[in-house]
Structure 1
Amino acid sequence: MTISHSFLRSVVLSIFLSFIAPILLTITIFISLLIVGCFPGVTALTLTSTNHIKQFLAVFGNGCPLQGLLVISITCSLVGALFDTYAFYRYQTMRGN
């Protein structure tokens, strides 16, 4: 039973992309809140929003938002790998191999 190179490449790529996606999403949210915070009148709203996001991430990171973001990213990468493995398995069984 050999594992094909295309399967390994696919799993590694899905792990990498699933790990990077939550990080990029969080960075995008923080940057957009930073830009919106430059407008007068919404500074308090953006500060409150960033504090809530940091508290949410701190729940998963044992008090540290960065660790929470890493935990969420690692979990997403595991789910991405499992989904890719399932899709490969379904493709093989549907094909008849």
Structure 2
Amino acid sequence: MSILPNFFRSLILASLLSFAAPIVLFGGVLASLSLLSYIPLVEAIAQFTQAQILQFLAVFGNGCPLEGILTIGFTFSIVGAMFDTYAFYRYQNLRGN
């Protein structure tokens, strides 16, 4: 029986989850900071932190925060796929196949 379909299924799933993880993380932090900016005592801190995060993302996106988060997501996706390939290879070698 071929192990190729299982490998590709695992590879695609690992790539998609690795791509989504930083996007969800940064999106959640930015959404939380956006909600915190409505509270008067922490408004300035939340807005400053949000601006710093957007500036950090703009560094990776050639001036655009959206491109920055996509660049980070694609990079994480490649790393996740490489790790999954390594884990699959090690599993096959330890099993004796």
* TM-score bucket of the superposed structures, by smaller chain: over 0.9
Do structure 1's residue 90 and structure 2's residue 95 form an aligned pair?
Answer: no
- TM-score normalised by length of structure 1: 0.94
Corresponding residue number in structure 2 for 1:31? 31
**Aligned residues: percent identity?**
53
Q: Counterparts in 2 of 1:9-24, with a 5 A limit?
A: 9-24=9-24
Moved runs in structure 1, 4+ residues, more than 6 A? none
Which structure is higher in helix share?
2
Do structure 1's residue 48 and structure 2's residue 37 form an aligned pair?
Answer: no
* In 2: Cα distance, 1:77 partner to 1:7 partner: 16
Q: Counterparts in 2 of 1:51-62, with a 5 A limit?
A: 51-62=51-62
The alignment's C-alpha RMSD in Å is: 1.0
SS at match of 1:21: helix
Do structure 1's residue 69 and structure 2's residue 31 form an aligned pair?
Answer: no
Could you list the per-position Cα deviations for residues 14-71 of structure 1 after superposition, in whole angstroms to 9, with x for gaps in the alignment?
Answer: 1111111111111100111122222111111011001000110011011111101000
Q: Unaligned stretches of 5+ in structure 2?
A: none
* In 2: Cα distance, 1:25 partner to 1:95 partner: 36
Instruction: Give the Å deviation of 1:4.
Output: 1.5
* In 1: Cα distance, 2:3 partner to 2:64 partner: 39
Q: Unaligned stretches of 5+ in structure 1?
A: none
- TM-score normalised by length of structure 2: 0.94
* In 2: Cα distance, 1:13 partner to 1:36 partner: 34
